[in-house]
Structure 1
Amino acid sequence: MEQLGDEAQLVKRAVRGDDHALSTLLRSHYTLLYRYMLKVTMNKAMAEDLVQDTMLKAIEKIGMFRQQSKFSTWLISIATRRYIDEMRKQQREQKWQTQEQALQSIRFHAAMQQQEWPHTLDALGELSYEIRVPILLKYYYGYAYEEIASWLGIPVGTVKSRLHNGLKQLRKELDEDD
């Protein structure tokens, strides 16, 4: 196996398409990258997955490596971006689960009080909060476009657009279920 002193040569060869050089580089940096990701994630399985993703991304993008930093720095930057993307994905999933659980709780509460749960509320619950809130404020509570825009910190035109798109989605959802 080549020594790390030859790293600059290995990088040049890898960028030109030498698979053996790239393989050598990735093997020699695997432990460093794994230890870094273990500290970042504090989760062994996630660290392993992200290191594998990083290695695959490095294989795909090696031709774009401009050698303006060390190879290890490039790998760490890829791994860090992959981690941030994963955390954003988990936040979106967690947000969706929280909203779904809250909706289930409201349905259960209505059932326990033997209240009817209108299908319209199910359809409303399917909308994103960015669309649901303006619809409720305008059509259920009767507030003006300007008030809604002020509360939400968005232009009046955006409120109107969200209302239009939201009503269109609601009509479509309700028509499909009839």
Structure 2
Amino acid sequence: MVEPTYRGSASVAREVDLMARIANGDRKAFEELYNLYHRRMARFLTRLTHRFDLAEEVINDTFWVVWRKARDFRGDSQPSTWILGIAYRKARNALRSSARFGRQNLEAESLALTSDEPFRTEELRDWLEQALEQLPVEQRLGVELCYELGYSCEEIATIMGCPVNTVKTRLFHARAKLQKLLPQLAGAGVPAPHGAGRQAAQERQS
């Protein structure tokens, strides 16, 4: 089952309120924000680092920054964009220091996406998990942020610290690679989820 996205206006308003309370030293608000974010951050960071221990370390480092810098949050972006941006930079620095991060160089072409619909079925989730692991890390994270957490290309660019067109390019290439990888997985004996053929046809037409 796909993880919920937490992108409603009520949720954003709640997070803004929590940030304001944290800026005033409210530890209960800090604990609430931590609990609200931990699951999605753990998934996001584990996909980036492939290390549960490092993901947890980055989560803790990120929230230490949130606690100290909450007053610096001005509301120019949503709290989640600000927080995930901190986490992404922390994770990249940690991976660089351990000589594990290989940046993927992609041309910044202006290529648009045609759909932001989340992946829906559990069967498709299992299929996609195997394919996603074969993508370059920045393409993989782009898919996670866009299709599963519901961020726009502009928000992803803020989180990842790159131009919007670079985000679009990464997502375009990720989609193209997934279209090739999924049939290969099916040929290896992974059962195709119901409706996958129809979805692939729709992708080819987009």
TM-score range with shorter-chain normalisation? Answer: 0.3 to 0.5
- TM-score, normalising length: structure 1: 0.45
Q: Which has the higher contact order (CA 8 A, sep 6+)?
A: 2
Higher helix share: 1
Higher gyration radius (CA): 1
TM-score (norm 2): 0.39
